[in-house]
Structure 1
Amino acid sequence: MKRKFVFFALLAACVSATCSMCGNDSDTPEYEFPDGPEPEPEPEPDTYPHGLTVTEFADDLADGKRCLGFVATADPKANPKLRFNAVHLPVQKTPTRIHADFDSENRGKPCVTTNAGYWWAGNSLSLLVSGGVVESIENQTVTRDGKTVYPVRASFGQMASGEFETHWIYCVSDDGNRPYAFPSPLDNDERTGTYMPAPPTSKTPGAALWTPQEAVGGGPMLVKEGRNVAEECYWREVFDGGGIAGTSRQPRTAVGATADGKLLLLVCDGRGMRGSEGFTLAELADKLIALGAVEAINLDGGGSSTMVGCDGTVLNRPSDTGDAETIVQRAVSTAIVISETN
């Protein structure tokens, strides 16, 4: 008992002494914290830069099915270092390889990469303009009902001013296959089987030379001046016989722009991947309008539809993956990379 008493007495004395040192009679002034903002935390590696967001969506469709996908939204006004890059691949590469190679080429940090236009047998079938140079042109002819058809198809580009534009494009032979913009898909309509008897030229009414800095072709036009034009343009751009199955739900890739200059990139899964049915073209256009798009075009879809995130991994589940444990990507001929300059 004596030992316990002595121990508690000593403890009480120590506490009392400590308290008296902290009292008002202490000669040590209290520390005053300087005014000023809290220091900004160090950025985490492999995060999206300011002005760029990537969000996942899961939309309930009209018949109770679902569509799952990802949307990247880039705001160049909020972050002038963000860049829209159209990438041409003379030798096809997977989106993850395109992403990694872009990083190694010292062109800035790749943040989001998707597939872009159509291709066949390793070659691009769609317009691709990079740094103001036309790297590939839109497919000039297709065959329908034994006839040679000259499709005028949608393209999306960024001008030297930084503005995003969509147009119906044909690369005219009377001006060196340079891209000319037209006010409509002109006089083709696959639904009625009526087609232009000759390709458009630089002298066709409404033709205007188009000179974007970066551009990707695809089609059909999905949104024009805020209006859903997907179904009508599907027929007028002569896509029904081309395998993109616009009226059925499929994996899709699309690019668009909002009225205030934001860039939208969307990839949705389909064919049962992650339980997703995909979108029809009309549903895809409605989704983009809900996201604020006033201009948008469809890009290559199906097994090509892939979105790579900032850390270089695939975000969605491309349909070629099937039941495999490892993601399966298709090598593509053109791509879009959203990057941030150094």
Structure 2
Amino acid sequence: MKAPKLIISILGLLLFLPLQAQKINLNWQPRKDLNINLPASIKIYDAYGTLPDNKPVRAMYATVDLSDENLKLRSIGSNTIRETTKETYNRGNGILAINGGYFASNSSVSAIIQDGEVIAPGPSNEISRGAFGMKNGVPEIAWVNSRENDIPKKLTSPDIHSASENWDVSQAVGGGPILLKNGKINVTDKEEGFKGSHLARHPRSAIGYKDKNTLIIMVVDGRQEASAGVSLGELAQLMLDVGAKDAVNLDGGGSSAMVAANEVVNIPADITGGNRNSLRKNAGALVIAETQVPQRPKPIIFDTENRNYFETGIWNSSNQVNYYGESASRVATSNKINKAFYTFEGIERNNYQLASWFTVNTQNNSERINYILHSEGKSDTLVINQKSLDNLGKWNVLGNFEISPRDTLEIIGATKGKFIADAIRLVAKKGSPVLPKRGDLRIAVISDLNSGLGAANYEWQVDSIINRIPKIWQPDLVICGGDMVAGMGVSETAQLQNMWNGFKKHIIEPLHKEKIPFAFTLGNHDGPRSYPVEHKFAKNFWKENINKTGLHFIDDSNFPNYYSFIAKNNFFVSWEASSSKITEENLEWLEKQFQTPEAKKATHRFVIGHMPLYSVAQERDSKGNVLENAKELQHLLEKYKVKTYISGHQHAYYPGKRGKLEFLNTGAAGSGPRSWLTQSQKPVSTINNGYF
């Protein structure tokens, strides 16, 4: 009789294990389209995936760093006034908002405490309800009841008879039930009087916190094709998965809405099927605003009714909801004739995040839509899936590009089906300079990258500059004015190897990967003639890595000490100016270079050397810090119609002109930037751009 029981037990275990292994499958990704317009203390993420029974689910959450003293959280609401979360967001000058608690036609069922004033006391009968509040700038979640004098009291448990105290908070919003307590799932739905359909899957809103400085705010879409919604238990699990310690459910269903950076983040379900253009009017919302509003680039939006938009072929207005702006999206069949275009007339040339908005149709839309950015001399083709619900109701970021008023964006279907044109958006990258018109040759100039003697690593700003060069400036050539490593007194071979390996890792390889040619001149810390061990090591390093430069050499017989090359019909000479004297041998070679056909036919001629002809920086105006015989050298360069002499060493950016010769004294990218002569202005690390 015992054997059958054992078999039944094993079968029961096997049946139970797959159920336990099932989970909500979501891959959270940062919302780049929103985060670019938010302070660093607020980050938004979204995900599209499946529930344990493979039903679809779409969710969004925000993290808020409350230690940012510029942020201000308020619970804004009313017993009688009804407005959408977006309207409350606007009224509160928000940058982030989520809907509040439950309400009836002429009252708020849930607690609302605004700036210390009790607007609505919340439940006063024989039940308590979960609520979120801020006390002395610290978030807390509690069970609340107000049956005594309509003053909300905080209870130690959902039991109405448990110990209580006045809930002395400055801002609060009620909801319920509580989802998490002390890092564990603790859904007190029955204790708080929730039952029936409320326990099923619906759109949901929740708020919680990871610690005293980190809020987590979440919405989950529901009642639509993209998302079935979640149960209270599933919502609790999602909040736990993203790091919440305590959390409470807010009003859900058609009320669930999040707004950030002036955009509705989710697809509210006030209308069956979901429609971001139709939000329910609620009793209140939690709104986060900024005390001091910094200047941010204003998004540039081109919709289909804008004069920057035009079509070719046969197009119609779509009947799909969730379009952007006031006009319906436009739809056409994918073929060679039907195309949509956006021009960028009227914008400033700059580096922008480029994004597209379109309505998603899983039945008819194409899986492959080509967005072709036509810019000066090149085209970039970007592919978007307009069938995927993961792309629903948001700005789909195509990438970061330098865009000018003469560029255009072409949209064309690449596979069978329909394709949509709705709106595009440009947001100038934070801290991005307005770029002048691109010439035939764009040069980025860096110099003096090194830090302390013998260092193999580089300061953060050097890595930042190298990272930004291909993303922002996109030059045709990078020139370094010397002092690539931190030598000049290093004799140990192992240390020299580490220094140059560090240079290769931090500078050469990233630029080589982006296929950006790299030219340089040796500096006094790179192995000058007076330090033979370092001089020899530098020469061997560059002989081994000459192919990494990507240069089109005219004469590399003396590389890396001095050499010549061309770039887009411009002629360059790098001479050895690692010390204050240019050798006669080097000068004779230079004159021969300017006699070559390449030099004579060149549009412009440039010379690169570490030491400058004239000083521009404090503590560098002395013998040994400038080239000897400066006037004679200048006359020589003028004789051969050199346009610009590019130098380093001074650690101070200063473009100038003397006689017929232009000078570009580069600043220090690494440590030790210096102030100009006779000036007290604070020095900065720099990168320089040239357009020719």
Same fold (TM > 0.5): yes
C-alpha contact 1:321 1:327 (8 A) present in aligned 2: no
In the alignment, structure 1 residue 329 sits paired with structure 2 residue 305: no
C-alpha contact 2:110 2:120 (8 A) present in aligned 1: yes
C-alpha contact 1:60 1:66 (8 A) present in aligned 2: yes
C-alpha contact 1:119 1:126 (8 A) present in aligned 2: yes
In the alignment, structure 1 residue 255 sits paired with structure 2 residue 207: yes
C-alpha contact 1:221 1:296 (8 A) present in aligned 2: yes
Change (3 A) 1:179 1:326: closer
C-alpha contact 1:122 1:332 (8 A) present in aligned 2: no
Change (3 A) 1:163 1:122: same
Change (3 A) 1:206 1:325: closer
Change (3 A) 1:46 1:321: farther
Q: How does 1:1-342 map to 2 (within 5 A)?
A: 47-77=37-67, 79-89=68-78, 90-103=80-93, 110-141=94-125, 150-160=126-136, 162-173=137-148, 176-186=149-159, 204-230=161-187, 233-240=188-195, 245-246=198-199, 248-259=200-211, 261-273=213-225, 275-311=226-262, 313-322=263-272, 327-342=277-292
TM (norm. structure 1) is 0.71
What is aligned with 1:17? none
C-alpha contact 2:95 2:261 (8 A) present in aligned 1: yes
Using the TM superposition, give the Cα deviation of residue 316 of structure 1 relative to its aligned residue in structure 2, in angstroms. 1.1
C-alpha contact 1:95 1:332 (8 A) present in aligned 2: yes
Change (3 A) 1:333 1:64: same
What's the % identity of the aligned pairs? Answer: 30
**Aligned equivalents of 2:277, 2:266: Cα separation in 1:** 9
**Aligned equivalents of 2:289, 2:275: Cα separation in 1:** 29
Question: Which secondary structure state, in structure 2, belongs to the residue aligned with residue 288 of structure 1?
Answer: helix
Report Cα offsets for 1:38-88 as digits up to 9, x if no partner.
xxxxxx9981112101111223211112210211110012x2212221111
Change (3 A) 1:180 1:334: same
Change (3 A) 1:101 1:272: same
Change (3 A) 1:137 1:316: same
Unpaired runs of at least 5, structure 2: 1-33, 293-692
RMSD of Structure 2 on Structure 1 (CA): 2.0
Report Cα offsets for 1:19-56 as digits up to 9, x if no partner.
xxxxxxxxxxxxxxxxxxxxxxxxx9981112101111
**Aligned equivalents of 1:326, 1:285: Cα separation in 2:** 25
What is aligned with 1:106? none
Which structure ranks higher in relative contact order (CA pairs < 8 Å, sequence separation ≥ 6)?
A: 1
Return the letter of the residue paired with 2:129.
R
C-alpha contact 1:112 1:338 (8 A) present in aligned 2: yes
**Aligned equivalents of 1:262, 1:224: Cα separation in 2:** 16
**Aligned equivalents of 1:113, 1:59: Cα separation in 2:** 24
Give 1 or 2 for the bigger CA radius of gyration.
Answer: 2
Question: Which secondary structure state, in structure 2, belongs to the residue aligned with residue 156 of structure 1?
Answer: strand
C-alpha contact 1:122 1:333 (8 A) present in aligned 2: no
C-alpha contact 2:223 2:274 (8 A) present in aligned 1: no
Change (3 A) 1:209 1:325: closer
C-alpha contact 2:35 2:44 (8 A) present in aligned 1: no
Unpaired runs of at least 5, structure 1: 1-43, 104-109, 142-149, 187-199
What is aligned with 1:30? none
